[in-house]
Amino acid sequence: MSGVFKALADPTRRRVLQLLKDGPMSAGDLADPFAVSKATMSAHFAVLREAGLIAAEKQGKSVIYALRISVLEDALLGFADGLGLGLIRATDTQAQAGET
């Protein structure tokens, strides 16, 4: 969980996650909105991959990144549980509603 929060601590990485919420994107397309070097963006992508927040797939010469929302959800729920908030996953609520 600490790796996820370390990754989320940086505003550039949070913006990358926001961009990916609409669907997978190439590394080049993700880097375009930022005024930093490709090496810097590559380092940000590496931190996000190591935290499990994004998945990378090589397609020809491009790398396509996709958001792994379940990892973020697990970290946030774990954090909330540590605070004693007792939150439950939206998918768990939907599953319980289908059982009744």
Share of the chain above pLDDT 90, in %: 62
What pLDDT, in 10s, does the model give residues 52-72? 999 999 999 999 999 998 777
CA dihedral 46, 10, 13, 7 (to 10 degrees): 50
* Residue 90 belongs to domain spanning: 2-99
User: Which amino acid belongs to residue 35?
Assistant: A
Distance between CA atoms of 39 and 66, rounded to whole angstroms?
19
* Beta-bridge partners for 36: none
Q: Say what the pLDDT of residue 76 is.
A: 73
pTM: 0.75
Report pLDDT digits (tens) over 26-47.
Answer: 999 999 999 999 999 999 999 9
- State the pLDDT at residue 24: 97
- Residue 68 sits in a domain whose CATH number is 1.10.10.10
User: Which residue(s) pair with 55 in the sheet?
Assistant: 66
**Structurally, how many domains does the chain consist of?**
1
